[in-house]
């Protein structure tokens, strides 16, 4: 499994899509990330990351309904594909395994 092609920001965005499904689109994702990280996140950055994810096959998208607050424009809704889900699980299990191997004294030093 190649997983070197999933950047950190991409990983976070992919996770957020998974969280927000079925209502995941760039504005919501950007706001969610802003709230979670406390850093300003622009829709442009999120959109670009989503484009890359879609290219890699981790998400798919459809055009949704038009809404008034968007000036009658449609939004693009994203869902995680099976491949995307597997990648996420992989990443997570790698992390978990590593976490579990950290000995308690080290943890104590950090806190």
Q: Of all helices (H) and strands (E), which one includes residue 9?
A: helix 8-20
Shortest Cβ 62–another protein spacing (Å): 11
- Residue 106 Cβ vs another protein, minimum distance, rounded to whole Å: 39
Binding site for another protein (CB under 8 A): 25-27, 30-31, 40, 42-45, 47-48, 51-52, 63, 67, 69-71, 73-76
Least CB distance to another protein at residue 43 (A): 4
Residues 6+ apart with CB under 8 A from 81: 57, 58, 59, 60
Residue tagged 């055009």 (tokens):
63
- DSSP one-letter code for 25: -
Residue with smaller CB distance to another protein, 36 or 90:
36
Token reading at 82: 């099976």
| Smallest distance, another protein to C-beta of residue 30, A | 7
Of 22 and 105, nearer to another protein (C-beta) is: 22
Sign of CA dihedral 28, 20, 51, 6: positive
- For residues 69 and 100, which CB has a smaller minimum distance to another protein in the complex? 69
- Please state, as a whole number, how many other Cβ atoms lie within 10 Å of the Cβ of residue 80: 21
Nearer to another protein, 27 or 107 (CB): 27
């Amino acid at each position: 499994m190649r997983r070197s092609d999933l950047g950190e920001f991409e990983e976070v965005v992919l996770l957020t899509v998974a969280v927000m499904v079925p209502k995941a689109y760039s504005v919501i994702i950007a706001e969610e990330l802003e709230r979670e990280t406390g850093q300003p996140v622009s829709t442009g950055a999120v959109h670009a990351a989503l484009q890359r994810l879609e290219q890699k096959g981790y998400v798919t998208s459809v055009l949704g309904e038009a809404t008034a607050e968007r000036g009658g424009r449609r939004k693009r809704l994203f869902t995680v594909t099976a491949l995307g889900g597997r990648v996420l699980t992989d990443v997570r299990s790698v992390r978990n395994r590593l976490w579990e191997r950290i000995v308690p004294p080290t943890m104590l030093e950090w806190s």
